[in-house]
Structure 1
Amino acid sequence: MNEEKKETGCCQDSSCTTKETVQPKHQIKVDLRPKVQVSERADACQDDCCTAAPAKAVESITPAAHMNASSKIRTYAIEGMDCGACAATIEKQFRGDPAVQSVSVNFSTGKMQMEHDHPVEEIIKRVSKAGFQATLLTKKQQKAPAAPTAKPYPLILSGVLLALGLISSFTGFSAAWSTFAYVLSILTGGYKPAKSAYYALKSRALDMNVLMTAAVVGAALIGEWLEGATVVWLFALGNMLQTASIERTRQSIRNLLDLAPPEAWVKEQDKLVKVPVEEMRLGQIIVIKPGDRIPLDGRVVVGESSVNQAPITGESIPVDKEIGDAVYAGTINEQGTLEVEVTALAEDTTISKIIHLVEEAQEKKAPTQAFVDRFAQIYTPIVFAAALLTMVLPPVIGLGSWGEWFYKGLELLVVACPCALVISTPVAIVSAIGNAAKHGVLIKGGAFLETAGRISAIAFDKTGTLTEGKPSVSHLEAWKVSEYELLSIAYTLEEYSTHPIAKAITAYAQSKGVVKQKGTGFNNKVGRGVEAEMNGTTYWAGNMKLFQHLHMPDSIQSKVQKLEQEGNTLVLIGTADRLLGLIAVSDRLRQVTVDALQGIRQTGVQELVMLTGDNEGTAKHVAANSGVSRYFAELMPEQKVSAIEKLQHEGHRVAMVGDGINDAPALAAADLGIAMGGAGTDTAMETADIVLMADNLQKLPHTIKLSRKALGIIKQNIWFSLIIKAAALVLIFPDILTLWIAVLSDTGAALLVILNSMRLLRVKG
C-alpha cells in the first residue's frame, strides 16, 4: 500500500483530482443491521422525545405490517385533528397506561401508531373520549382514508349571523337584537371548538381549542359580544383552510397508491377475465395491453414492449422489456401486449413498499420538529400562566381596571397558542418526502431529510455507481488481419468462458454480426488466457504473460501502456510466433454520471469523492473523466469505512452512495447512506437512509436541492412564527392589538406556514 498522498491547496474544479490511499484500521467494527429506523447519527438528537414514532413501530419493511406476529403495534387513522396540539391531546390519553407500551400521533399524516395490550375497541373508545375518531388500518389498508370534507354550513351560518348583528347595530335596531345575533353566531361556529376544548381539558392538555374557548367565554363575560363572535368565525375559517391544505399534502401519497390498478386481466383458457388484485396468486399469468398500467410485480413470459417506469424510478425514458425481464406494479405498458407471471402479491409489490416506507418516514420526527414540540410543551403552560397573572396582578396593585387587564389577558391567551410554530416543520417534511417519492427517491425520515440538506461531501463507490458495473469493449486494434477476422478469432476463443471479460468480447462480436469459426482443442492456460485450433492454426487470447516470449515493438508497448493507464484490461490475440491485435475492455462511465455530478456541485456540495478497490491507473482515469475532486484507490471494503471517517475528521458531513449490498459498511459509517437501484431490491431499501429507485445518479441533485430547500423553508417557518408571536405580544400592552386581530394573527400565521411548506410539493426534478 502506498503512503498517503495529498496535494495541498487542491482546487475544487471538476478537472482536479487528488489521489489518496487510506491505511486500514485494525478491528474495524461496523453495524450491518438494516437501517429502517432513524439512525443514531452524531448530529441527531439523543433525547427520548426526539422520535415520536417508537423505534419498534418501524422495524418491519413489509407494507402490511401494521400488526405482525412479533409485536402488538397497530396503526390507526385519526379524524378530527385541527392542529399539532390535538395530536398531543390524544397521546396524553394513553401516557402512563401500563398496557400501552408506546404511542405516537402524527398530525401531518393523520395517523396514530400504538403498541398496546388493550382490545382495539377500547382504544377507539378512548380516542373518541378525547374528541376524535379512530379507525384501525387493517392489513390490506395501506393508506389512511381521506378525511371527510368539513361541512361549511356552521361556518357560513356563523358568518351570516355575525354580519346580521353588525348590520343591526348600524340600522337602529336595539342592542339586544345585535347581542342575540352575536350569541347565535358564537354558539353555531364555536360548538365544535368548545367540544374539543372540553375533551382536551379532560386529558389535561392546553391546545388551541382550550385557549380560544377561554378567550370567547371571557369576551362574553365582559360584554364584548362582537369580539367573541368575530374570534369564533375567524378561528373556524382558519381551521377549515388549514384542514384543506393539510389534506393536499396527504393526497400526494394516496396518488401513489392509486397508480396501481385494482384489477388485472387474467388469462383463463382462451379468454381474458378481470380479477381483483387482492385475489391474485403467485405464478398466475396476467395480460397487460398497450396503454394499460401494470397491476402487480412480475416477470415477462410472452411478448416485448417498452414500459414507462417513471412512477417507480422517476426515469422519463421508457425501458425496453423482453422475456425474463422484471416489471413493476404502477408502471405503464406503452407498446406491445405482455404476458406476465405474478411474482409478488398486492401487499408486497415494489409500489406498496415505497408507499409504506414513505408514510413511515413522514411519521418520524426530525430533530428540529422534536425540539419545536418540546419547546411548545414548555412554552404554552408558561404563557397560559402569564395570561392569568396579567388578568389578576395589575388591577390588584392598582395599575388599572379589572375589565382592561382581563381583556389583555384574553389576548395573551389567544396569542399563547404555538400552532404555527408546531406545524412549521412536519408539513414541510411531509411535502418534501412526498415530492421525492414522486420523483423516484425514498427518504426514510425527517432526520435524513435534514441531514441531506447539510451534506458537504459525497463519497461514491465506483463500480456500479459511477460506472455501469459490467465490462464492455472500449477499443480494438488489428495489426496482421482485418478487424472482422480478429473479432471472429476472439469470439471463437472466448465463447465457452464465463469470465466477465470473455462475455464482454463475445457480446461485442455478436453485436457486430461477427460469425465465429470452428474451433477444436480448447485449452485454458490458468492465469494467462486460452488457446484453440482453427483451420490448422493454434490461436491464443490472453494477457501479456501469455505473449512474453515474443519481441514486442516499442509502438505496441507504448500503446499497451497507454490503454492500461486509462483503466483498460487488455486481451491480446495472436499465435505462438506473432501478435494479430488487441481488444481493450473496461467498465464504462455511466452516461448520466458526469451530468449528475455537475448538478450536485451546483447544489453547493464541496467534495465529490470516489472510493474504489481498483488500481491507481483505473481510478485516476475514471476520476478525471467523471469530475470527482478526490479519489481513494486500492481499497478493501473495510478501508472504505476508513475513507469515510477520514472525510468526517476533516469536518465534512458525509453521504455515501453505493449499491446497498457490498457497500453496507460504508453506508452505515457515513452520516447519510444513499443506495442506488432500489427498484425490486429489498436490500437497498433496508440498508440505506435514502434510496434512488433508478439505477443511476440522475435524481441525486434533485434530492440534495429538495433537502436544502426544505431546510430553508423550515427555518423561514420557525422564524416567521416566532416573529408573529413576539409582535403580537408586544402590541397587547399599548392597546393596539384586539382580540380578533390576535386570532387572525395566529390562524393566519399557521395558514401561511402551511402554504409556504406546500411549495416543496412543486419543486421540479
Structure 2
Amino acid sequence: METRASVAIEGMDCPDCARSIERAVSELRGVRFATVNFAAGELLVEFDAQATDRAAIDGRIRELGYEPHGAEATAPTRPTGWISALLATARGRATLIAATVLAIGFTLDTYVDGGVGGALMLGAVAIGGYHSARSGFQALRLTRSLDMNALMTIAVIGAVLIGDWPEAASVVVLFALGNTLEAATLQRARAALTGLIAIAPTEARVRRNGDELTLPVGDVRIGDTVRVRPGERIPLDGQVTDGNAAVDHSPMTGESVPIDRSVGDEVLAGTIVVSGYIEARVTSLAGETALARVIRLVERSQSERSPSQRLVDRFAALYTPVVIALAAAIAIVPPIVLGQPFESWVYRALVLLVIACPCALVISTPVAIMAGISSLARAGVLVKSGAHLEALGDVRVLALDKTGTLTRGRPEIVEILAAAGQDLPPLDLLGIAAGVEARSEHPIGRAIVQRGAHDLAPPYSARDVSLVPGLGARGTVTIRGQDRAVTIGAPRWLRDGSVGETTSMRDRRDDGLTVIIVGIDGALAGEMLIADPPRPEAADAILAARDTGIRRVTIVSGDHRGAAGRIARLVGVDETRSDLLPDEKVAVVRSLRVAGDRVAMVGDGINDGPALAAADVGIAMGRGGSGIATEAAGVILMRDDLRGVAHALRVGQLTRAIIAENIAFALVAKILFLTLGALGLANLWVAVAADMGTSLVVTLNSLRAGSPREAVPTAEGERPPSRAGIA
C-alpha cells in the first residue's frame, strides 16, 4: 500500500543537512521516493506501508540529529532574532556556552596560564562541536557521503592535532553562530508559508437538531449549518442561508476591502466576518475547500525543483568531491614529492575542506523561489512550481482569451436608441422591455431587467408572455391605457420576419455589439445595444504588463471578429485571432512561440485548457474559471483581477534576477577563497566566516523576492451599469 507523508523537520539549517536527510531516508527499505524542500523545511516521502512506516522514517531523521514533526502540524516556529534563536534550541545554547568558554580560555591563554586556557579551548571545541560531529558521523554512516558537518568536524580535528587549539575553537563557534543566523533568516521566509496554513480554522460551531455544537472541522458534514459571529473565521466553504455580513477576503485573495455577503452568496473557509452574523450551509469538506486546495498547491510548488535549482544541484554534486580531492592532493603531494613542511600544507588542506561545501550556491535558488511564491500567494496569485515562476520572468508575449478573461463574461446594455417617429422615451422602452423579460432566465433578459432596476425605469407589467427559443420574448403590455403587443428579441423577428435586419444594425453587429429590438404592434420602437464589456481593470492591466517588457499582446478568442476587435480597441491589444476552436487556439499559441519568445496564455474557460497547457506559462482566472482551466494552468489569479498578471511577471523577473545575482556571488566567493586557501593566504576561521557569510548574504538577498516594490492594486468593487448609454 503506497502512502505519502509530509514531515516538517526542525533544526535543518543548511542545504547539506537537507541532502543528508533525503539520502538517509531514501536508503530505508520500502521508501519509493523522498525529497527535501530545504526552503520550506519539509520532507515529502512516499513509501510502502507494508515494508516501513512513519516511525522508522522519524527514527532515521532523529539519528541524523533533527526532529521530525507530523503532517498535521508544521515544525515549531522559532524566533527570527538571532539571540532568541540561539536560546531556543539545545544546539544554540551549546553554542553560547562554547563561545563563553572560548572567550575565557583565550583570555587565560594570552594573559595568565596557557595550560588552563588551552584546556578551556578544547572544552569549547567539545561543547560547540558535538552536534555537528554527531550529524556528520551519522550522515557518513547512513549515506556514505561527507556533508558540511563532517567536513567541518574533520577540519576542527585536524586543527587540534596540529596544535592550533584557538583556531579550532574559533571555527566551531563561528560555524555554529553562522548556522544560527542562517536559520533565523530562513525562518522569516518560512513564516509566509506557515502563516497560510495558520489561517485554516480547526473548529466549527455547527447547528444540528436545534443544538449548537463545537466540532473539529474534519467532523463537519456537507449540508451542515455553521454559525459565524463577528471576528471569527469561516470554517468551511459554504452558502449563506441566514444573515448578512461584511467578510474580509484578504487572507485568501489579498483584497483589502471587505465584501458584503448575504443569503445565497458563497463564502470561503479562512475568510473573516468583520461585522454582522451569518449561517452557512457547508458545501465542501475540510480537505476540499478552496483554502485546502491553495495550501496543497503552495506545498506542491515548494517541493518541485526549478530549472535553475536542478542545474545548481548538478554542479554542487561535482564541486564538493573535486575540492575534497584537491585538498587531499595539497596535503599529500607537496610534503612527499617536494619535501615541503607537512604541517603548513595540511593546514591549507583543512582550509579547503571548509570551503568544499557549496552551501551558499545550493541555497541561492530555493529561498528566492520560496520568497517569490509566498509573496504572490499573499497577493492572491498562486504559482504551482518554481519552474513556472522562473518562466514568468522571461515572458515577452501575452495571449488572452476574451470572454470571461478580458471581459466580465456577462452581457450589459451599453446604449438604448428610440426609433424615429416614436414618442416613447428610451427610459420607457427599457421599462417595457424589463416588464416582458421579468421572468426570463436568458442572460440578455436578465441584463435588461437589471438595467431597468438600476436606472429606475417606469414599471410596466406584461401578461400572456411567451418565449420563442433563439428569437426572444413577446407579451401584452398596457401602455398609456392601451394594450399593446410587444416583441423583444433578434432583429429578424419582427412582423413574423417581414422586417429584418437593417444596414445600421449589421454595422453595429460587425462592431461587436448585439442588437435587440423592441417592437410595438409590429413596428420598430427602438433598439438596445448589448455587449460584454471589458473588465474595469483590463486596459490598466495591459499597460502594466507592457511596462514589464511584454512586446506583443494578442486576443485568442472563439468569439466572432467584430466582438474580439471591439474589445481589442477598448483595452489596447495589438492583434486579435477570432472564431477559434480549442485546437485552433493551441495552434495560435504555438505559432506565437516560434520566434523564440516565451508566451503566457491567460484564460478562464474549458475551451482554454489546451491553450493554457501549450503556453510556456498558463494563467487561469481562479474565481470564475473552470476546473479544467485551473488544472491546466501553472498560475492562478484567485482575485480574478487581471492586474495580477503584471504583478506575477514582475515577481518572476525579480526572482530570476536575484537567482542570477546569488549564483554569481556564490561562485565568485568560492573561487576567491579556494585560491586564497590553496596559496596559504586564508586561515580556518576566515574560511568559515567567508562560507557562512556568503550563505547569509545569499539568503538575505533572496528575501527581496518576497517584497517587490509594486503590489497588486486593490480590486475595485463591482460597478453598476452606467446611465450614460441612454439616448
Q: TM exceeds 0.5?
A: yes
1:667 paired with 2:612, answer: yes
Q: CA deviation at 1:608?
A: 1.6
Q: Matched residue of 1:631: which SS? A: strand
Cα contact 1:678–1:685 (8 A) shared by 2:
no
Q: Deviations over 1:506-556 (max 9, x none)?
A: 22223333455444554555654443333443232233323474599xxx8
1:328 paired with 2:328, answer: no
For the residues of structure 2 that align with 1:210 and 1:755, how far apart are their CA atoms?
Answer: 26
For the residues of structure 2 that align with 1:475 and 1:439, how far apart are their CA atoms?
Answer: 36
1:513 paired with 2:453, answer: no
For the residues of structure 2 that align with 1:136 and 1:336, how far apart are their CA atoms?
Answer: 37
1:264 aligned to which of 204, 212, 217: 204
Q: Deviations over 1:88-131 (max 9, x none)?
A: 21232244666222221222222222222213322223333333
* Equivalent residue number for residue 737 of structure 1: 682
Cα gap change, 1:706/1:261 in structure 2, threshold over 3 Å: closer, same or farther?
same
1:188 aligned to which of 119, 127, 132: 127
1:107 paired with 2:38, answer: yes
Q: Deviations over 1:580-613 (max 9, x none)?
A: 1111110011001111111111111222211112
Q: How many residues align?
A: 688
1:717 paired with 2:655, answer: no
Cα gap change, 1:390/1:561 in structure 2, threshold over 3 Å: closer, same or farther?
same
Q: Matched residue of 1:700: which SS? A: helix
Q: Matched residue of 1:76: which SS? A: strand
* Equivalent residue number for residue 366 of structure 2: 426
Cα contact 2:620–2:636 (8 A) shared by 1:
yes
Q: CA deviation at 1:260?
A: 3.4
For the residues of structure 2 that align with 1:240 and 1:362, how far apart are their CA atoms?
Answer: 23
1:356 paired with 2:296, answer: yes
Cα gap change, 1:271/1:92 in structure 2, threshold over 3 Å: closer, same or farther?
closer
1:600 paired with 2:553, answer: no
Cα contact 2:371–2:703 (8 A) shared by 1:
yes
* Equivalent residue number for residue 121 of structure 1: 55
Cα gap change, 1:596/1:419 in structure 2, threshold over 3 Å: closer, same or farther?
same
Cα gap change, 1:157/1:96 in structure 2, threshold over 3 Å: closer, same or farther?
closer
Aligned 1:364-763 pairs, distance under 5 A: 364-398=304-338, 400-479=340-419, 480=422, 481-514=424-457, 516-522=459-465, 524=467, 527-534=470-477, 535-547=482-494, 549-550=498-499, 557-558=503-504, 560=505, 563-575=508-520, 578-659=523-604, 661-678=606-623, 682-763=627-708
2:67 aligned to which of 129, 133, 157: 133
2:246 aligned to which of 300, 306, 309: 306
For the residues of structure 2 that align with 1:683 and 1:633, how far apart are their CA atoms?
Answer: 21
1:338 paired with 2:278, answer: yes
Q: CA deviation at 1:338?
A: 1.0
* Equivalent residue number for residue 230 of structure 1: 170
TM-score using structure 1 length: 0.85
For the residues of structure 1 that align with 2:59 and 2:674, how far apart are their CA atoms?
Answer: 39
AA partner of residue 216 (structure 1): V
Cα contact 1:678–1:684 (8 A) shared by 2:
no
Q: CA deviation at 1:162?
A: 1.5
Cα contact 2:436–2:461 (8 A) shared by 1:
no
For the residues of structure 2 that align with 1:757 and 1:524, how far apart are their CA atoms?
Answer: 62
Q: CA deviation at 1:274?
A: 4.1
For the residues of structure 2 that align with 1:443 and 1:337, how far apart are their CA atoms?
Answer: 34
Q: Matched residue of 1:628: which SS? A: coil
Cα gap change, 1:532/1:208 in structure 2, threshold over 3 Å: closer, same or farther?
same
TM-score using structure 2 length: 0.90
Q: CA deviation at 1:254?
A: 1.5
Higher mean alpha-carbon deviation, 682-691 vs 413-422, is at 682-691
Q: Deviations over 1:292-330 (max 9, x none)?
A: 322222110012222221211222232221211110111
Cα contact 2:199–2:270 (8 A) shared by 1:
yes
Cα gap change, 1:294/1:136 in structure 2, threshold over 3 Å: closer, same or farther?
closer
Aligned 1:79-94 pairs, distance under 5 A: 79-94=10-25
Unaligned runs of 5+ in 1: 1-69
For the residues of structure 1 that align with 2:412 and 2:598, how far apart are their CA atoms?
Answer: 35
AA partner of residue 55 (structure 2): E
Q: CA deviation at 1:753?
A: 0.9
* Equivalent residue number for residue 37 of structure 1: none
Aligned 1:141-290 pairs, distance under 5 A: 141=72, 143-146=74-77, 149-151=88-90, 152-171=92-111, 173-202=112-141, 203-267=143-207, 274-290=214-230
- State the superposition RMSD in angstroms: 2.4
Q: Matched residue of 1:456: which SS? A: strand
Cα contact 1:158–1:188 (8 A) shared by 2:
yes
Cα contact 1:459–1:611 (8 A) shared by 2:
yes
Cα contact 1:456–1:606 (8 A) shared by 2:
yes
Cα gap change, 1:499/1:347 in structure 2, threshold over 3 Å: closer, same or farther?
closer
Cα contact 1:530–1:541 (8 A) shared by 2:
yes
Higher mean alpha-carbon deviation, 386-395 vs 493-502, is at 493-502
- Calculate percent identity across the aligned residue pairs: 38
For the residues of structure 1 that align with 2:511 and 2:273, how far apart are their CA atoms?
Answer: 41
Cα contact 1:301–1:341 (8 A) shared by 2:
yes
For the residues of structure 2 that align with 1:121 and 1:672, how far apart are their CA atoms?
Answer: 40
For the residues of structure 1 that align with 2:145 and 2:10, how far apart are their CA atoms?
Answer: 18
For the residues of structure 2 that align with 1:114 and 1:517, how far apart are their CA atoms?
Answer: 67
Higher mean alpha-carbon deviation, 244-253 vs 417-426, is at 244-253
For the residues of structure 1 that align with 2:657 and 2:170, how far apart are their CA atoms?
Answer: 35
Cα contact 1:550–1:577 (8 A) shared by 2:
no
Q: CA deviation at 1:650?
A: 2.4
For the residues of structure 2 that align with 1:740 and 1:660, how far apart are their CA atoms?
Answer: 60
For the residues of structure 1 that align with 2:661 and 2:486, how far apart are their CA atoms?
Answer: 72
Unaligned runs of 5+ in 2: 79-84, 712-727
Cα gap change, 1:577/1:328 in structure 2, threshold over 3 Å: closer, same or farther?
closer
Cα contact 1:679–1:694 (8 A) shared by 2:
no
Cα contact 1:454–1:653 (8 A) shared by 2:
yes
Q: CA deviation at 1:236?
A: 0.5
Cα contact 1:215–1:414 (8 A) shared by 2:
yes
AA partner of residue 258 (structure 1): A
Higher mean alpha-carbon deviation, 717-726 vs 527-536, is at 527-536
Cα contact 2:484–2:521 (8 A) shared by 1:
no
Higher mean alpha-carbon deviation, 436-445 vs 145-154, is at 145-154
Q: Matched residue of 2:558: which SS? A: coil
Cα contact 1:471–1:504 (8 A) shared by 2:
yes
For the residues of structure 2 that align with 1:127 and 1:290, how far apart are their CA atoms?
Answer: 43
Q: CA deviation at 1:364?
A: 0.9
AA partner of residue 162 (structure 2): I
Higher mean alpha-carbon deviation, 263-272 vs 344-353, is at 263-272
AA partner of residue 126 (structure 2): L
For the residues of structure 1 that align with 2:157 and 2:659, how far apart are their CA atoms?
Answer: 35
Higher mean alpha-carbon deviation, 90-99 vs 283-292, is at 90-99
Q: Matched residue of 2:643: which SS? A: coil
For the residues of structure 2 that align with 1:290 and 1:410, how far apart are their CA atoms?
Answer: 63
Cα contact 1:476–1:584 (8 A) shared by 2:
yes
